[in-house]
Structure 1
Amino acid sequence: MESLKTIWSTVVQEAVAENVTLDDVYQLIETPKQAGHGDLAFPCFILAKQQRKAPTVIASELAERLHHPWIKRVVAVGGYVNVLFHRNIIANQVLKQILDNGSTYGSNSSGNNANVPIDFSSPNIAKPFSMGHLRSTVIGQSIARLAEKNGYMPIRINYIGDWGTQFGKLIAAYTLWHTEYDTKADPIRALFQMYVRFHKEAKHTPELEDAGRQWFVKLEAGDADALALWRWFRELSLESFNHLYQRLNVSFDLVRGEAYYNDKMKPIVNELKSKGLLEESQGASVVRLDGEVPPCLIQKKDGASLYATRDLAAAFDRHTSYEPTRMLYVVGQEQALHFVQVKEVLKKMGASWADQVEHVSFGLLLSGGKKMSTRKGHVVMLEDVLDEAKNRALASIQARTPHLFEMEKVAEKVAVGALIFHDLKHYRQNDVEFSLEQMLTFEGETGPYLQYTFARAKTLLEKGGWSEADQHTITEIDEEAWPIVKALEEWPAKIKQAWQQTDPSLIARHLLSLAKAFNTFYSQVRIIDDSANKATRLTIVWTVATVLEDGLKLLGIQAPEKM
């Protein structure tokens, strides 16, 4: 079934074919602010100059010429041509599609199974998994699920920070002070405390920085002691990360650290040299870039590699391994210059696929208007936040439904869902203010609100005794159900748009619209009664539950059937 927006665009474009393209018309289509004015509207202002007529005149003339079997009425409202569709015809089409396809409704095969490596989460080893890595993790996971829904083959890559000068500093700190910390009870926290101490003491003891650099040079040279400590740090960290990923319902196809590219950087450096792209600058090696883009630093003066060197090696490796159509990097917007530089270096190296590299940037996570980050050795740990959220969710559920089965499991789903949805409902490039109080309420624009709406729908279906076998033709829908039908009809287009723009907030916001329409319907119509419309009403409930569950899954959120 073509979308209503496509149908209306086609009808309008055929009537004014000599003036605008179908895409022009499609981009101009609006939804009237007042529902009584129609379902969709075409503004005629773009035609006024071409036809040398007032938009109101053009709208009146067009309204007489626009026809389609699914269109009930076309009216001119000011300079707009508004359309009202036949409710029951559209409802039959939409609901039947969902009944036939279930959770695959809205899926498409436009990707043709093309590979899309998605680099996300990417925490640093030997540090607690802080709230600072939450955004990359949940945005990346949702984008991967959107890729699948659009027929692509995502390769979820956790490119962990396990290399760099900071590990030389950590090894130096460990060799100096490890006997003073309890590395058995909570090794990650102990290592982090040593790392913080290193930076504090280095301000007054500059030779510590030299010791850190020397240890990293040893690490890059394959020193046995340095490598043994580094491997231990890495093993402890991955074990800690995996526990959190399980709680967040996040999975990866490939966990690969920066260290993997140690033996793959030299060919990159050699190629840059052979093409005359590498220059010396204050003892370091750089690639000068065009325009106002600063030079890209490839090697430090002590020969140590940098992020750019490793990211170049990783880009070539991913291109060779997967032959992708897009290569996505879900990384904070603070790294925008870095990705511009990497992309420009790839172009200078002759990589015809350089434009496949896409930086999917996002804003900051704020607390009290300030960035959530390491501050005087303190971090906001994700596990602590999840535990607190779960305790609050449990208290709320106990007050609402004291005899709920498996209350602990439901509370965990609500807590995780609240945290994820609070992030993903915002356009990713916007900053997000963190607030447990706001995200855990069961009213308003929250994850628990959507989960509760889904549970309400499932309860209605159970009480009404509805089954798919009972459903036949939709005879007549209530006027109050029309906003639901429109939201369901728009679902496939939202899935395409969210993928194309790598923006999960489009899914989150649409689910809120659907849930609000459903809850209004629920408050205005007796769904379970003895009327002839009972089966149709329950069918609508089932389709809402199906799309809500699928949409929450796209966001990485589980939907409890009872709350």
Structure 2
Amino acid sequence: MTNDKQLAAQALAAVLDNALSEAEITNLLETPKKSEMGDLAFPVFSLAKTLRKAPNMIALDLVEKITTAGFEKVVATGPYVNFFLDKSATATAVLSGILTQGTAYATLAKNGENVAIDMSSPNIAKPFSIGHLRSTVIGDALAEIYSKIGYTPVRINHLGDWGKQFGMLIVAYKKYGNEAAIRKNPISELLKLYVQINAEAAEDPTVDEAAREWFLKLENGDAEALALWQWFRDESLVEFDRIYKELGVTFDSMNGEAFYNDKMDEVIDILSEKQLLTTSNGATVVELEGFENPALIKKSDGATLYITRDLAAALYRKRTYNFAKSLYVVGQEQSGHFKQLKAVLNKMAYDWSDDIHHVPFGLVTKDGKKLSTRKGNVILLEPTIQEAVKRAAAQIEAKNPDLANKAAVAHAVGVGAIKFYDLKNERLNGYDFNLEEMVSFEGETGPYVQYAHARIQSILNKAAFKPESVLGQIFSLSDDESWEIIKLLQAFSDVIARAARTFEPSVVAKYAINLAQAFNKYYAHTRILEESDERDARLSLAYATGVVLKESLRLLGVEAPTEM
């Protein structure tokens, strides 16, 4: 089916005598800010130099020549050619497409290409906090979005299970640790040890030195160090798995940093063969043009760093998954690290380094203050989820006490509220954590969108609506509010494409809010169930809106209950 942008681009290309290609025209098409200005607008400024005319005259000339087939009208407004869509034809095409395809609407066929997504990646022996939420839910949403447009996502949980912090933890355990207490309550006890030893290290530099020595032992396979590390790791994964289950997030790989411990020698050998390694103050580095500092591959004591392991991981992932894109959903404070990673891979002559993308995000704060595990200032995710579900349950009890599956719905709403609130914020914008605002059924929240979806299901159930019963009909709707919904539904595929192109799930979340708001406005002014010539069209519009709301929420990892 030719969409309306294609139709407008074809109509313009036919009268522009190759001045612009269809693709160039499509890229220039805009959506007017006011609906009375039309549904699509083409700015003619770029043609002024070529045609040697004032832009408003060019617009008038084009309108005289354009064939208006498929459009209600085409008019010139100053330097713009404005297209008004044929409302009935557009509504029929959009609604028929959704009635036929259901949630498969706007899905593209698999193209056989993989997208590797490095996401979540919590540190072993530390509690799973709100700080880890962003990487987890942004990465999971991007996986669903890329799957929707034809790719196969590979979700990779690159666990923070290696590094000097384990030397620090081993020092703490040997100084203060109580095995029985850790076995009883592993994560909270390990966190206490970690906070205590970091406070001590701030005052006593010998603690830091001892931690470096223990990590070097760990890298060299020391039996005691490995046994303690394995114990800390196993206990952590039990807690992480429980939280991932709560969030409904799964992974294709749990290979953390430690997995690459025996794969770094190859990287160093390749760098050496390509004559890229130099020595600086006893450390092994790769000099990089345009960077203030070189890439530090090995410290003077022989210990490796994040970038060494990330180079090994990048090579492993390319060989294993042959990715078309490799995304790293990691906080924006690591931007410099990923620029260096790409630069080193580029110097190694791997052209696929261009397919690596750092997907940065801003911080979550509480009362405007930065959170820090090291300082013991964290919001733990598991009790936060429990509190969100409790608050959702209280609202459901007040609104619909006879709901049959209240516990399941409360869980879907509570967890969905936390995820949606995170994802509606543009990645690079941090946000201040506010659970009350997250779980509210009013405002730009997940529960608001879920409630709109549930309301639609109630309407459709009352009407005993079946999509197959209206297939083949011409749908005409006379009001402006339904037209706004039609245009939003038509834009769904463009929304998904933009979200994928910009690695920005907030595009989908904001779209879902806009669609829910548009439907609620329509619902407030229209008797959908009333017998009229438009009843089938109104019910079809409600059904289509419900389908797209449900699919939008699914792309964000949020459930869409049918009752609330």
TM-score of the alignment, normalized to the shorter chain, above 0.5: yes
5 Å-filtered alignment, 1:228-377, equals: 228-374=227-373, 376-377=375-376
The whole-number CA distance in structure 2 between the counterparts of 1:87 and 1:462 is 27
The whole-number CA distance in structure 1 between the counterparts of 2:531 and 2:217 is 80
Does 2:485 correspond to 1:484? yes
**1:210 positional shift:** 2.3
Amino acid at match of 1:558: E
Instruction: Report SS of the residue matched to 2:177.
Output: helix
The whole-number CA distance in structure 1 between the counterparts of 2:400 and 2:22 is 52
Amino acid at match of 1:20: L
Does 2:422 correspond to 1:430? no
The whole-number CA distance in structure 2 between the counterparts of 1:411 and 1:185 is 30
Q: Please name the residue that 1:442 is paired with.
A: 441
1:126–1:475 Cα change, 3 Å:
closer
5 Å-filtered alignment, 1:135-154, equals: 135-154=134-153
Q: Please name the residue that 1:405 is paired with.
A: 404
Instruction: Report SS of the residue matched to 1:193.
Output: helix
1:92-138 CA-to-partner distances (Å, cap 9, x unmatched) read 111111112111110113x6121111110000000001111111100
Q: Is the deviation greater in 61-70 or in 230-239?
A: 61-70
5 Å-filtered alignment, 1:428-507, equals: 428-472=427-471, 473-479=473-479, 480-507=481-508
Q: Is the deviation greater in 308-317 or in 51-60?
A: 51-60
Instruction: Report SS of the residue matched to 2:279.
Output: strand
Q: Is the deviation greater in 90-99 or in 161-170?
A: 90-99
5 Å-filtered alignment, 1:517-536, equals: 517-536=518-537
The whole-number CA distance in structure 2 between the counterparts of 1:235 and 1:307 is 22
**1:466 positional shift:** 0.5
Q: Please name the residue that 2:563 is paired with.
A: 562
- 5+ residue gaps in structure 1? none
Q: Please name the residue that 1:188 is paired with.
A: 187
The whole-number CA distance in structure 2 between the counterparts of 1:157 and 1:507 is 23
5 Å-filtered alignment, 1:32-47, equals: 32-47=32-47
The whole-number CA distance in structure 2 between the counterparts of 1:14 and 1:433 is 52
Amino acid at match of 1:505: S
1:162-201 CA-to-partner distances (Å, cap 9, x unmatched) read 0011101101111111129821332101001101111111
1:42-91 CA-to-partner distances (Å, cap 9, x unmatched) read 12223233333332222222222222431111122222221111111111
Q: Please name the residue that 1:538 is paired with.
A: 539
Instruction: Report SS of the residue matched to 1:160.
Output: coil
The whole-number CA distance in structure 1 between the counterparts of 2:378 and 2:330 is 19
How many residues are matched? 562
Instruction: Report SS of the residue matched to 2:135.
Output: helix
1:218–1:112 Cα change, 3 Å:
same
Does 2:41 correspond to 1:13? no
The whole-number CA distance in structure 2 between the counterparts of 1:246 and 1:11 is 51
1:270-325 CA-to-partner distances (Å, cap 9, x unmatched) read 22222221111112111111123520001111111110000000111111111111
The TM-score normalised by the length of structure 1 is: 0.96
The whole-number CA distance in structure 1 between the counterparts of 2:510 and 2:319 is 37
- Asked if the contact 2:68/2:74 (under 8 Å) is kept, the reply is no
The whole-number CA distance in structure 2 between the counterparts of 1:133 and 1:123 is 6
The whole-number CA distance in structure 1 between the counterparts of 2:179 and 2:147 is 49
**1:381 positional shift:** 0.8
Instruction: Report SS of the residue matched to 1:155.
Output: strand
The whole-number CA distance in structure 1 between the counterparts of 2:274 and 2:38 is 62
The whole-number CA distance in structure 1 between the counterparts of 2:43 and 2:202 is 64
The whole-number CA distance in structure 2 between the counterparts of 1:354 and 1:231 is 33
- Asked if the contact 2:156/2:254 (under 8 Å) is kept, the reply is yes
The whole-number CA distance in structure 1 between the counterparts of 2:266 and 2:533 is 73
Instruction: Report SS of the residue matched to 1:188.
Output: helix
1:397-428 CA-to-partner distances (Å, cap 9, x unmatched) read 22222222222221111111111111111221
Q: Please name the residue that 2:158 is paired with.
A: 159
Q: Is the deviation greater in 425-434 or in 118-127?
A: 425-434
The TM-score normalised by the length of structure 2 is: 0.96
5 Å-filtered alignment, 1:88-237, equals: 88-109=88-109, 112-179=111-178, 182-237=181-236
The whole-number CA distance in structure 2 between the counterparts of 1:286 and 1:514 is 52
1:276–1:553 Cα change, 3 Å:
same
Instruction: Report SS of the residue matched to 1:294.
Output: coil
The whole-number CA distance in structure 1 between the counterparts of 2:280 and 2:537 is 73
Cα root mean square deviation, aligned: 1.6
